[in-house]
Chains A and B, each alone.
Chain A
């Protein structure tokens, strides 16, 4: 065993990269759930975003267009969920599960012929001045733009939910849709927009994996991150900062276990591979002991006549 081989600066920098797709998907789902909708289709929207982004980036040679296509792909798929649950009033749990299965299937279909293809390189964006700070600069300010976007998005979602009128309306719809409706807010329209925002975020998270982190396409390559994102939102008690913490924790333990393995750490590999899931859940369960509860209307269908 050689612990000195693990460079803490590089470890923290790759922690942030590992956390990004999870953070994007989870922050999107947080907004969806805050509006009172439970969309279990995150995994399906992520993988669809991954292939849409990859296909467009390969065909146009522009990774930025790829990211845009990924967000659109995720949003379009989530629109299907929105139609089912908001207009047809279908059961949200069943529709969400169906969305995941559908997303996995359609991504495999779209991905035929893209396996083994090379994605165009994604430029790294060092933030001037800030990236020159020793250690901290490399950890925080020497990534690609999606990483910055994910963190800004977290900040933005927190600010909007807490301090703006839009956030207040969104929360009102999620807490008591009948009251919000009585006040004259368009419950269904607000929820559809929230669902599409969630879909776009999940798609972006998926594309981060297929375009930047790997970068390649394989079937099922999101490997359950969508489900982790869902669990993260619940364990984080619907608070953006806790989602950020949970994502970093999960990414961090994930990267750390590979590092420990490479350093010859004498713990069986199976335990190391299991550790990110266990530790993330454990920490967030302990943190959520303050009984912050779910949005009161979460998962309930709304129709103006009721």
Chain B
């Protein structure tokens, strides 16, 4: 009885939803963890959303909510958006994973897309970019550019996404510069300019002359600029306003094509839950222009690495690689599979310090 009632309601709701879609605009929601003008991660999602809306013109309406904390508040905000009649909701931070899945259960007719997570459901897709490919290029540049052989890394939260980035950068810095050392500070935030600036200053004081960041603000660039001879990389956005010094390159997130494709699927009614993980080749990860401060041969080396990754000739996680404690992980020539990478929770051999639990 209950089940049949539920099914009828669902079927009716589905019918209504389809009718509604046909009748008026498709409403697409976006939830951001930071302000939409943070200069990095959230700003790029916002710009991609605007580009998507422009592509569809009158057919699509976007609603956005910025500065949403990860946690219980997120669930409230996502629910609110679903109640307002959104047909498709993009939740754009790792910490929105469980809230998204919870809300999705309550709204079977609304489609959800969660960035950088791993939990899917019939109406929840996940999408992420292979940022570690970009980190490999940053690592190469960092290893070549450092004179003190100390590279600072401002990490955010100890999740696989961030740990992959640290490992990939370290492996490639080590490859071109065997003496390189990584100093890692965990900021436990995605966006907090004060904390990021403090972390950058401490790393610089401890001898780091290249700073990599997995946080979203431009504060580390400002600190590097004040210090003088320190190189940085744009994160999520190009951050070109800090080039050619200190910013020497960047990882740029390119979400717009994906947003257009998924919104089109909702309009066509062909939307299905997928797990997308694309890299430089598919255009989801862009490498910002390498500035003129970088010597030509180093630049050529980085570009060659990028080409090898794009052609598929090279994978950033190729053996022989050991775990931090010295136990073997990948044999010579062996390539890490996506499953292992998705749940990566250890440092590779050579990185000092422990991952906070």
5 contacts between A and B (CB under 8 A): A10-B205, A218-B192, A255-B202, A262-B184, A262-B202
Q: How far is the CB of B80 from chain A (nearest CB, A)?
A: 20
Complex Cα–Cα for A223 and B38 (A): 18
Q: Is the CB of B82 closer than 8 A to any CB of chain A?
A: no
Interface residues of B in 147-202 (CB under 8 A from A): 152, 183-186, 188, 191-194, 197-199, 201-202
Chain A hits for B241, CB < 8 A:
118
Pairwise interchain contact A14-B354, C-beta atoms closer than 8 A: no
Chain B hits for A270, CB < 8 A:
356
Complex Cα–Cα for A142 and B251 (A): 36
Pairwise interchain contact B356-A262, C-beta atoms closer than 8 A: no
- A219-B67, A270-B356 given as contacts; is B38 within 8 A of A115 (CB)? yes
Q: How many residues in B have their beta carbons less than 8 Å from beta carbons of A?
A: 36
Closest chain B residue to A18 by CB distance? B198
Closest chain B residue to A117 by CB distance? B37
Total inter-chain residue pairs, C-beta < 8 Å? 89
Contact code string B5-41 (vs A, CB < 8 Å = 1, else 0): 0000000000000000000000000000001011100
Chain B hits for A118, CB < 8 A:
218, 222, 241
Chain A residues proximal to chain B, CB less than 8 Å: 5-7, 10-11, 14, 18, 113, 115-116, 118, 121, 209, 213-216, 218-219, 221, 223, 254-255, 258-259, 261-264, 266, 268-270, 273
Q: Is the CB of B257 closer than 8 A to any CB of chain A?
A: no
Complex Cα–Cα for A258 and B188 (A): 12
Pairwise interchain contact A273-B205, C-beta atoms closer than 8 A: no
Which A-B residue pairs are the 5 nearest by beta carbons? A216-B193, A264-B353, A258-B202, A116-B39, A10-B205
4 extra interface residue pairs, beta carbon distance < 8 Å, beyond A14-B201, A209-B194, A214-B197: A11-B205, A116-B218, A264-B183, A273-B188
Chain A hits for B116, CB < 8 A:
none
Complex Cα–Cα for A235 and B38 (A): 38
Complex Cα–Cα for A198 and B329 (A): 60
Chain B hits for A215, CB < 8 A:
197, 222
Chain B hits for A255, CB < 8 A:
198, 202
Complex Cα–Cα for A6 and B206 (A): 6
Complex Cα–Cα for A223 and B198 (A): 14
Partner among A115, A121, A223, A262 whose Cβ is within 8 Å of the Cβ of B206 = A262
Pairwise interchain contact A116-B222, C-beta atoms closer than 8 A: no
Chain A hits for B203, CB < 8 A:
262
Contact code string B208-227 (vs A, CB < 8 Å = 1, else 0): 00000000011100100010
Pairwise interchain contact A218-B193, C-beta atoms closer than 8 A: yes
Q: Is the CB of B334 closer than 8 A to any CB of chain A?
A: no
Closest chain B residue to A13 by CB distance? B205
Interface residues of B in 343-357 (CB under 8 A from A): 352-354, 356-357
Q: How far is the CB of A194 from chain B (nearest CB, A)?
A: 29
Complex Cα–Cα for A273 and B188 (A): 10
Q: How far is the CB of A59 from chain B (nearest CB, A)?
A: 17
Q: Is the CB of B92 closer than 8 A to any CB of chain A?
A: no
Q: Is the CB of B125 closer than 8 A to any CB of chain A?
A: no
Pairwise interchain contact A116-B38, C-beta atoms closer than 8 A: yes
Chain A hits for B192, CB < 8 A:
218, 221, 223
Q: Is the CB of B43 closer than 8 A to any CB of chain A?
A: yes
